[in-house]
């Protein structure tokens, strides 16, 4: 009789254990299904109703662009929308100052190509393709964009880690530094002439007076209009870092949202790249 009771007790434990495994699997499948459904296209369509961070994978190597983005481009960027979804409780530093850029055309250059695809060394080298791919010239692009918004005299250099294209430092006037590390990424090619990408970057701004950390999501959609023109929509979200005192209040919800419209016009040379591009005003 005692053996029977013991046997029944063991059977009950086994059933509970199996039920836990099945329940865990169902939860995992449900989570996975939700994650898969959250495509970049759907996320763009949901903007500005973003209530959490995007579902992306760990950034390995560099972001690969389509062939039609190779070359040097004149860019006109216009901030079309700016939202502080958790105001007035939480407003990021500089949010009010950024209102000066609303509906203003800011001009800069960017370039992409296989020549900027440097060999990846270290931890992520096994994930690097043996064939050169089209990537951004991150040092060039970062410096041009920073100069366009901050002024040439305020930007000294943008340096990319030679062992990891996802890490870079922007050196600014006044012994200030912006240290950036791309932690996650996703890309989609919905059509032959369309390209979408999401990157999440951890940022550390360091100056003699202060230290500020945050996390930035950049989600972009590029549309090739013809061989020399690309139209793009770019959405940027700012998330608080765990070191911020308001982190637990904000959670994974963005504290600032920006939407830009970009026009990219192909440039035949770097010397005249900005000649016909509208200047910031």
pLDDT tens, N- to C-terminus, the chain (281 residues): 434 433 443 334 333 333 332 233 332 333 333 334 479 999 999 999 999 999 999 999 999 999 999 999 999 999 999 999 999 999 998 899 999 999 999 999 999 999 999 765 555 555 555 678 999 999 999 999 999 999 999 999 999 999 999 999 999 999 999 999 999 999 999 999 999 999 999 999 999 988 999 999 999 999 999 999 999 999 999 999 998 999 999 999 999 999 999 999 999 865 444 444 433 32
Q: What is the pLDDT of residue 113?
A: 97
Residue 48 lies in a domain: no
CA 59 to chain centre: 10
Both 139 and 32 in a single domain? Answer: no
| Count of CA atoms in the C-beta half-sphere (13 A) of 195 | 13
Both 85 and 147 in a single domain? Answer: yes
Both 30 and 162 in a single domain? Answer: no
Both 109 and 8 in a single domain? Answer: no
Residue 49 lies in a domain: no
Q: What is the pLDDT of residue 130?
A: 63
**pTM of this prediction?**
0.80
Residue 44 lies in a domain: no
Both 138 and 190 in a single domain? Answer: yes
Range of the domain at 91: 57-267
Residue 253 lies in a domain: yes
Both 167 and 263 in a single domain? Answer: yes
Both 169 and 125 in a single domain? Answer: yes
Q: What is the pLDDT of residue 42?
A: 96
Both 7 and 100 in a single domain? Answer: no
Q: What is the pLDDT of residue 138?
A: 97
Residue 279 lies in a domain: no
Residue 272 lies in a domain: no
Q: What is the pLDDT of residue 23?
A: 30
Q: What is the pLDDT of residue 65?
A: 98
Residue 46 lies in a domain: no
Both 193 and 260 in a single domain? Answer: yes
The count of structural domains within the chain is 2
- Phi, psi angles (nearest 5°) of residue 130: -75, -20
Both 31 and 166 in a single domain? Answer: no
Both 183 and 212 in a single domain? Answer: yes
Both 8 and 66 in a single domain? Answer: no
Q: What is the pLDDT of residue 124?
A: 53
Q: What is the pLDDT of residue 19?
A: 32
Q: What is the pLDDT of residue 90?
A: 96
Q: What is the pLDDT of residue 32?
A: 34
Q: What is the pLDDT of residue 121?
A: 58
Residue 274 lies in a domain: no
């Amino acid at each position: 009789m005692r053996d029977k009771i013991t046997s029944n007790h063991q059977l009950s434990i086994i059933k509970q254990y199996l039920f836990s495994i099945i329940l865990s699997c169902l939860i995992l499948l449900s989570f996975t299904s939700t994650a898969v459904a959250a495509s970049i296209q759907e996320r763009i369509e949901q903007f500005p109703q973003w209530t959490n961070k995007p579902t992306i994978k760990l950034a390995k190597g560099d972001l690969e662009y389509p062939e039609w983005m190779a070359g040097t481009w004149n860019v006109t960027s216009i901030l079309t929308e700016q939202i502080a979804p958790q105001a007035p409780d939480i407003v990021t530093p500089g949010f009010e100052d950024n209102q000066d850029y609303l509906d203003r055309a800011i001009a800069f250059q960017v370039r992409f190509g296989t020549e900027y695809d440097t060999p990846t060394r270290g931890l992520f080298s096994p994930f690097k393709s043996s064939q050169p791919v089209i990537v951004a010239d991150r040092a060039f692009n970062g410096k041009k964009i920073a100069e366009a918004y901050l002024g040439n005299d305020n930007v000294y250099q943008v340096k990319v880690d030679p062992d990891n294209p996802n890490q870079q430092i922007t050196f600014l006037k006044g012994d200030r530094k912006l240290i950036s590390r791309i932690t996650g990424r996703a890309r989609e090619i919905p059509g032959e002439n369309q390209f979408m990408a999401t990157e999440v970057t951890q940022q550390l701004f360091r100056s003699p007076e202060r230290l500020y950390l945050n996390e930035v999501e950049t989600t972009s959609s590029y549309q090739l209009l013809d061989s020399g023109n690309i139209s793009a929509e770019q959405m940027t979200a700012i998330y608080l870092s765990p070191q911020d005192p308001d982190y637990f209040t904000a959670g994974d919800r963005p504290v600032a949202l920006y939407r830009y419209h970009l026009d990219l016009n192909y440039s035949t040379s770097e010397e005249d790249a900005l000649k016909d591009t509208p200047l910031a005003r």
